[in-house]
């Protein structure tokens, strides 16, 4: 329980009365209460009395009913859904999502998705996949692709085993499958949520009460959309506990939080759930696919349209494995004392000029007038973000649950710059420079990501 209260990176969490995951100081308070009650109370062993307690109740059916009632508020094209002929495959990857996604599609009047039979029932052995994580990409979706070909489906939806995340793949004209990144899905779902809201709210002045959120290591595409459309965008620390609590603050102020996401395929499309939710996201994505089909558009074509209107945002994320904490600390301390100078961060990385540095371990932010970071800081983890003069952003951070040094990079181009080949080459060069300049001194002590 203490471990869950401190680490939610893999989807585990302890929730406060707000419905959002706990943030400080509640984690400390819970840990303190546990330590003060390590010996079980004598009456805890009396199971007969426990069964008579008025506190004992099963909220499942009521929660089930209220949940689907809540997500139906985000169904905006029921007529299109009812007549849709788009075929979709869904896999729950041996987890709990199958029945709930089927019910969510029914609540939206969408045709039921084809279920991958070998993976639809919970199985803790995950016998058909090497890693039960759809974020890993095509390897997890092999059976889904086979079923899609058999049934003539063009889209695959995949939940992780606890169904709080969503991956999407689309069959291309070439017959190959495109698995969208978490950032690309953030762009698509963010666009869709705003598109539906705008259809329902023709009064442009109301847009000032609209908010979207994303974690600081996620794409800045929502920021670009917000700048053009007039709503508010905010970034938070990594983890939905921060986005959920910020959303609650805004809702309490009478604001509307339309959407929040993190690049690790986590999406909050329904603010009745102040956390990532792969079930409501699946139904909302299903409606988006049905709507686009009426415009003879694929998801890939719509993503291109978003980038052409708001600017291309190209991402490249990965990690190194390192089991030696001293090595990890030496990497980040070198960046804080670059060139042997105390409290001096690098100003260049290869041929790329660094325009700003934000260090959320120490609380330093060169872009702020007082040089102090706006976001909360913590010296228990490592996290430094570099902004580059060419529109690139790179964040290096340690994982809270795994022996990894993660890096997240994105090149944000201005609208009108559609030379994707050049943009990808520029981002590749930037990533190479980061690995050569920043990781080089400890490179022989790191293991690259296993593809």
How high does pLDDT run on average in the chain? 93
For residue 1, pLDDT beyond 70: no
Question: Going by C-beta distance under 8 Å and a sequence separation of 6 or more, which residues neighbour residue 69?
Answer: none
5 labelled catalytic: yes
Q: Look up residue 23 and give its two tokens.
A: 């943030």
- Torsion angle, CA of 269/275/279/285, rounded to 10 degrees? 20
Q: What is the mean pLDDT of residues 329-352?
A: 92
Q: For residue 405, what are the β-bridge partners?
A: 320, 398
Query: pLDDT higher for 9 or 24?
Result: 24
Cα 18 from Cα 438, distance rounded (Å): 41
pLDDT at 8: 41
Show the domains of the chain with their CATH numbers.
Answer: 2-52 (no CATH), 66-310 (3.40.120.10), 313-448 (3.30.310.50)
Looking at the predicted structure, is the pLDDT value of residue 19 above 90?
A: no
pLDDT at 333: 94
Average confidence (pLDDT) over 151-178: 97
Catalytic residue among 5, 215, 280, 298: 5
**How far is residue 288's CA from residue 191's CA, in Å, rounded to a whole number?**
10
| pTM score, whole prediction | 0.92
pLDDT tens-digit series, residues 240-267: 999 999 999 999 999 999 999 999 999 9
What ranges make up the beta strands (E) of 70-209?
88-91, 114-115, 155-159, 166-171, 177-179
Q: Is the pLDDT of residue 7 over 70?
A: no
Q: For residues 140 and 133, is the Cβ–Cβ distance under 8 A? A: yes
Q: Give backbone dihedrals phi and psi of 47, rounded to 5 degrees, phi first.
A: -70, -30
Residue 223 in this model has a pLDDT that exceeds 90: yes
DSSP string, 301-312: HHHHHHHHHH--
Q: Which residues contact 391 (CB under 8 A, 6 or more apart)?
A: 411, 412, 413, 414
> For 224-245, what is each residue's pLDDT tens digit?
999 999 999 999 999 999 999 9
State the pLDDT at residue 450. Answer: 64
Q: Token pair for residue 279? A: 């079930």
144 pLDDT more than 70: yes
Give yes or no for residue 428 having a pLDDT over 60: yes
pLDDT of residue 451 exceeding 60: no
**Residue 440: predicted pLDDT:** 85
- Bridge-based pairing of strands 256-262 and 210-215 is parallel
CA Rg, the chain, in Å?
Answer: 23
HSE-CB for 414 with a 13 A CA cutoff = 3
At 93-130, the pLDDT tens digits run 999 999 999 999 999 999 999 999 999 999 999 999 99
Which residue from 118, 111, 177, 125 is spatially nearest to 149, judged by alpha carbons? Answer: 177
């Amino acid at each position: 329980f203490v471990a869950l209260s401190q680490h939610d990176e893999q989807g585990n969490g302890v929730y406060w009365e707000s419905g959002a995951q706990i943030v400080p100081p509640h984690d400390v308070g819970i840990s303190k209460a546990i330590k003060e009650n390590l010996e079980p109370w004598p009456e805890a062993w009396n199971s007969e009395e426990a069964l008579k307690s008025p506190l004992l109740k099963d909220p499942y059916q009521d929660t089930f009913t209220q949940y689907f009632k809540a997500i139906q508020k985000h169904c905006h094209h029921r007529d299109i859904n009812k007549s849709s002929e788009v075929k979709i495959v869904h896999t729950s990857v041996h987890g709990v999502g199958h029945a709930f996604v089927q019910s969510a599609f029914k609540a939206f009047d969408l045709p039921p998705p084809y279920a991958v039979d070998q993976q639809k029932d919970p199985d803790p052995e995950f016998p058909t996949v090497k890693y039960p994580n759809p974020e890993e990409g095509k390897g997890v979706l092999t059976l889904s692709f086979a079923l899609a070909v058999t049934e003539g489906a063009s889209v695959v939806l995949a939940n992780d085993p606890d169904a709080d995340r969503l991956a999407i793949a689309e069959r291309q004209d070439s017959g190959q499958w495109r698995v969208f990144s978490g950032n690309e899905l953030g762009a698509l779902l963010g666009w869709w949520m705003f598109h539906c809201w705008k259809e329902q709210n023709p009064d442009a002045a109301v847009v000032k009460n609209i908010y979207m959120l994303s974690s600081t290591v996620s794409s800045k595409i929502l920021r670009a959309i917000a700048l053009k459309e007039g709503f508010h965008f905010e970034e938070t620390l990594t983890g939905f506990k921060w986005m959920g609590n910020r959303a609650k603050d805004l809702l309490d102020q009478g604001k509307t939080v339309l959407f929040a996401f993190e690049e690790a395929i986590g999406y909050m499309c329904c603010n009745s759930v102040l956390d990532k939710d792969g079930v409501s996201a699946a139904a909302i994505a299903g409606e988006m696919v049905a709507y686009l089909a009426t415009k003879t558009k694929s998801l890939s074509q719509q993503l291109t349209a978003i980038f052409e209107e708001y600017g291309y945002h190209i991402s490249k994320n990965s990690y190194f494995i390192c089991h030696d904490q001293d090595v990890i600390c030496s990497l980040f301390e070198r960046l804080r004392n670059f060139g042997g100078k105390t409290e001096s961060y690098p100003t260049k990385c290869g041929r790329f000029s660094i325009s700003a540095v934000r260090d959320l371990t120490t609380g330093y932010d060169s872009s702020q007038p007082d040089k102090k970071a706006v976001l909360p800081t913590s010296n228990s983890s490592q996290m430094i973000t570099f902004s580059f003069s060419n529109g690139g952003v790179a964040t290096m951070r340690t994982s809270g649950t795994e022996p990894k040094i993660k890096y997240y990079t994105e090149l944000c181009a201005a609208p009108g710059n559609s030379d994707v080949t050049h943009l990808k080459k520029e981002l590749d060069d930037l990533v190479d420079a980061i690995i050569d300049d920043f990781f080089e001194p400890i490179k022989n002590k790191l293991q690259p990501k296993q593809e």
